[in-house]
């Protein structure tokens, strides 16, 4: 141990705020990126699952495309 006491370790002879701020930001950002990456992975995975499930339900009933008619849309004028 390079320090005499725990408080000396925190203070680091006056350089404490700088050192600890750096470490805090480093840890927070790195952990944040890691957590975010995991979260995103899971959300994409979930989205895929939902998609496959709905696909499985609707499979077989392919929707036929309605032909274009270009009829004018009636707008009620109340």
Partner 1 sequence: MWQFFHKLGSPKWFFGIATRFMPWLLAGGLLLLAAGLIWGLAFAPKDYLQGNSYRIIFIHVPSAFLAQSIYISMAVAAVVTLVWRMKLADVFVKAIAPVGLLFTFLALFTGAIWGKPTWGTWWVWDARLTAMLILLFLYGGVIALDRAINDEKSAARAVAVLVLVGVVNIPIIKYSVDWWNTLHQPATFKLTEKPTMPMEMWLPLLLSVLGLYLLFGWLACIRMKTEILVREQRTRWVRELVLAGRK
User: Which positions lie near partner 1, rule CB under 8 A?
Assistant: 1-3, 9, 12-16, 18-19, 21-23, 25-26, 29-30, 33-34, 37-38, 40-41, 44-45, 48-49, 51-52
Q: Report how far residue 12's alpha carbon sits from residue 20's, in angstroms, rounded to the nearest whole number.
A: 9
- How far apart are CB 8 and partner 1 at their closest, in Å? 10
CB contact at 8 A, 17 and 23: no
- How far apart are CB 39 and partner 1 at their closest, in Å? 10
Whichever of 56 and 73 has its CB closer to partner 1, that residue is 56
DSSP secondary structure, 50-62, as one string: HHHHHHHHHTT-P
């Amino acid at each position: 141990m390079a320090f005499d006491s725990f408080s000396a370790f925190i203070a680091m002879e006056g350089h404490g705020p700088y050192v600890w701020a750096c470490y805090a930001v480093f840890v927070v950002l790195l952990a944040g990126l890691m957590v975010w990456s995991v979260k995103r992975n899971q959300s994409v995975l979930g989205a895929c699952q939902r998609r496959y499930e709905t696909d499985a339900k609707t499979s077989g009933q392919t929707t036929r495309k309605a032909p274009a008619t270009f009829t004018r849309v009636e707008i009620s004028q109340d």
